[in-house]
């Protein structure tokens, strides 16, 4: 196959979703170019993930950085258009739901370059989430839609997307997790916090709806402070959240252990041996389901319903009582073990590259 594939990444959750695709294309010696938009740029949010996932260095780095949604999206679009004009790819592959995903899909579609979307069809049905808008736009511009769970296909069909474009391939984020989790656990990342396996919880919090308004963020941290008195909680703090906490002068209990965003291996190692996870992330809901670790999602909706119906995830929103009650249940051992969803088996990227090769044959 002499076609050129252009893979694009931009922000932290893209790296583990796209790494398996990039590596599988490389294994099959399919020509590719890797573009990093630079939406995330701190070492701990970007470079360290490339290193730990064994990703090749990007061929092109757009260096767009942070800004308002419109300005960030516009900068990615202008820079990526030049890449497409110069490199003339035959397919652009994007993953997930970040601003880079949508911006790049829009540019490629307008240049009549087919787009493939990894993790297509997920819907929270909440258009106040920037990610929901990014998903809808990317999906409707894509020729190949790779879904992770059955709900993806149902959502896309309801939106009028042709059946033959949709391919249920499984979950690339799980490909990365299964490949690296054993090594990650062997590194005993809990030692750095003076903790032992299953004796701690893990918290992540970065969604604008949870962190931007102190009236929501403060009670959330307060309830975690209380919970942490029975179970120490490690909290790798996203740059956005750190800034908001500082601004509002929010205090944390000594048993809520703050640290910088963690490298991939440290994070999945800690997650694998956590007693429970509290999060507003999308991907972590899926990773905890695979690891069979109880997960409380600090949101009122999820675009990943399979983690509720088959997995260990439950929605607790931002209701302190609900959060505390659920933690008590978990600590009493009253929590479903869950079942790993279909095709979350470490082979999603193999299926994706099979479909891509078939398209070009
Ligand atoms: C983005 C994604 C979100 C994803 C999250 C994971 C969008 C709309 N959102 O949100 O879906 O779950 O990444 O982290 O694309 N910053 C740094 N260093 C960095 C990157 C960001 O300090 O390397 C700070 C900047 O102050 C920036 C803020 O974090 O303004 C937010 O970054 P941004 O990329 O706009 O969105 P995230 O909140 O990270």
What's residue 1's pLDDT? 59
Q: Same domain for 16 and 161?
A: yes
Q: Same domain for 134 and 200?
A: no
Residue 238's pLDDT band (boundaries 50, 70, 90)? very high
Q: Same domain for 97 and 167?
A: yes
Residue 361's pLDDT band (boundaries 50, 70, 90)? confident
- In angstroms, the CA 98 to CA 135 distance is 8
The count of residues in the chain is 361
What's residue 343's pLDDT? 98
Residue nearest to atom 30 of ligand 1 (CA): 66
Atom of ligand 1 nearest to the CA of 11: 13
Residue nearest to atom 2 of ligand 1 (CA): 98
User: Cα(74) to centroid of ligand 1, in Å?
Assistant: 16
Q: Same domain for 158 and 253?
A: no
Q: Same domain for 165 and 225?
A: no
| pLDDT 10s digits, 72-87 | 999 999 999 999 999 9
CATH code (residue 56): 3.40.50.2000
DSSP 273: T
| Mean pLDDT of the chain, nearest integer | 97
**Residue of 183, 180, 203 whose CA lies nearest to 193:** 203
Q: Same domain for 19 and 146?
A: yes
What's residue 77's pLDDT? 98
Q: Same domain for 21 and 166?
A: yes
Q: Is residue 339 part of a domain?
A: no
| pLDDT 10s digits, 58-72 | 999 999 999 999 999
DSSP 163: G
**Residue of 306, 308, 185, 225 whose CA lies nearest to 295:** 308
Say what percent of the chain tops pLDDT 70.
Answer: 100
**Residue of 136, 175, 198, 203 whose CA lies nearest to 286:** 175
> CB within 8 A of 236, min separation 6: which ones?
204, 259, 260, 261, 262, 267
| pLDDT 10s digits, 316-329 | 999 999 999 999 99
Pocket test for ligand 1, best of 9, 15, 39 (most atoms within 8 A of CB): 39
Q: Same domain for 165 and 289?
A: no
Structural domain boundaries, residue 37: 5-171+344-360
Instruction: Count Cα neighbours of 134 within 13 Å in the Cβ-side half-sphere.
Output: 21
Ligand 1 near 45 CB (within 6 A): yes
Q: Same domain for 18 and 140?
A: yes
Q: Same domain for 135 and 206?
A: no
Ligand 1 near 13 CB (within 6 A): yes
Contact 213, 288 (CB under 8 A): no
Strands 144-147 and 115-120: parallel
Ligand 1 near 240 CB (within 6 A): yes
Q: Is residue 83 part of a domain?
A: yes
Say what percent of the chain tops pLDDT 90.
Answer: 99
Residue 162's pLDDT band (boundaries 50, 70, 90)? very high
Q: Is residue 258 part of a domain?
A: yes
Q: Same domain for 13 and 159?
A: yes
Q: Does residue 238 carry a catalytic annotation?
A: no
Q: Is residue 350 part of a domain?
A: yes
* Alpha-helical runs (H) found in the chain: 12-27, 47-53, 69-87, 99-110, 130-141, 150-158, 172-186, 208-211, 214-228, 239-247, 264-272, 283-291, 306-309, 320-331, 348-360
Q: Is residue 337 part of a domain?
A: no
With 90 as the cut, is the pLDDT of residue 2 above it?
Answer: no
Contact 34, 59 (CB under 8 A): yes
DSSP 128: T
| pLDDT 10s digits, 343-352 | 999 999 999 9
Q: Same domain for 192 and 117?
A: no
Residue 279's H or E segment, with its range, is strand 276-279
| pLDDT 10s digits, 105-126 | 999 999 999 999 999 999 999 9
Tokens at 35, concatenated? 């573009």
Q: Is residue 315 part of a domain?
A: yes
Q: Considering 117, 180, 206, 238, which one is annotated as catalytic?
A: 206
Q: How many domains in the chain?
A: 2
């Amino acid at each position: 196959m002499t076609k050129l594939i252009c893979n694009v990444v931009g922000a932290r959750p893209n790296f583990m979703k796209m790494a398996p695709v990039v590596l599988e294309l490389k294994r099959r010696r399919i020509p590719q170019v890797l573009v990093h938009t630079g939406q995330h740029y701190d070492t701990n949010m970007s470079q360290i993930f490339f290193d730990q996932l064994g990703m090749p260095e990007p061929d092109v780095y757009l260096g767009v950085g942070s800004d308002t949604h419109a300005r960030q999206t516009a900068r990615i679009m202008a820079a990526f258009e030049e890449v497409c004009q110069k490199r003339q790819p035959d397919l652009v592959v994007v993953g997930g739901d970040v601003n880079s995903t949508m911006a790049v899909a829009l540019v490629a579609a307008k240049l009549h370059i087919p787009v493939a979307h990894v993790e297509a069809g997920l819907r929270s049905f909440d258009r106040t989430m920037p990610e929901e808008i990014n998903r809808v736009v990317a999906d409707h511009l894509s020729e190949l839609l790779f879904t992770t769970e059955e709900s993806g296909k149902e959502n896309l069909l309801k939106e009028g997307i042709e059946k033959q474009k949709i391919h249920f391939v499984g979950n690339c984020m799980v490909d990365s997790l299964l490949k690296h989790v054993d090594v990650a656990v062997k590194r005993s990342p809990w030692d750095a916090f003076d903790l032992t396996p299953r004796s701690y919880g893990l918290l992540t919090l970065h969604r604008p709806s949870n962190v931007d308004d102190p009236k929501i963020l403060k009670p959330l941290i307060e309830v975690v402070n209380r919970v942490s008195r029975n179970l120490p909680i490690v909290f790798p703090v996203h740059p956005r959240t750190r800034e908001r906490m500082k601004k509002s002068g929010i205090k944390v209990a000594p048993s809520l252990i703050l640290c910088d965003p963690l490298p991939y291996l440290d994070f999945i190692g800690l997650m694998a041996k956590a007693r429970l996870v509290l999060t507003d992330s999308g991907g972590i809901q899926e990773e905890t389901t695979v690891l069979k670790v109880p997960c409380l999602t600090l949101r009122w909706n999820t675009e990943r319903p399979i983690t509720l119906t088959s997995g260990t995830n439950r929605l607790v929103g931002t209701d302190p009582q609900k959060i505390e009650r659920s933690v008590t249940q978990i600590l009493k051992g009253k929590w479903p073990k869950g079942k790993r969803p279909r095709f979350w088996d470490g082979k999603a990227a193999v299926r994706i590259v099979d479909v891509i090769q078939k398209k070009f044959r």
